[in-house]
Amino acid sequence: LDVYDELTGVINNAFMANLAAIDKELLEELCAFLKLFDEVIDELSEEEKPTMHKVIPIRQLLLNYCDLKYEDSGERIELK
């Protein structure tokens, strides 16, 4: 997402229509939603320490995170 605005300078013109069709706000919402999943993957991928005891609490955290909430945007509701 950090390089989204810079892509126009390096993408072939044939793919510009595809880039233009991507809703940047939706992409930002998707990245924000997936951030917790990325953090969980890092947390459970530690090689130095055992992480098995973290699986059930993290699973519940993710289930709660995916529950629909009143303040969720329409895009986030679709993701969940």
For the chain, 80 residues long, give each residue's pLDDT as a single digit of tens: 677 777 767 777 777 777 777 888 888 888 999 999 999 999 999 888 889 999 999 999 999 999 999 898 888 888 88
Could you give the number of structural domains in the chain?
1
The model's pTM: 0.71
Domain extent at residue 71: 4-79
Tokens of 59: 């699973």
pLDDT at 9: 72
Length of the chain: 80
Contact 58, 44 (CB under 8 A): yes
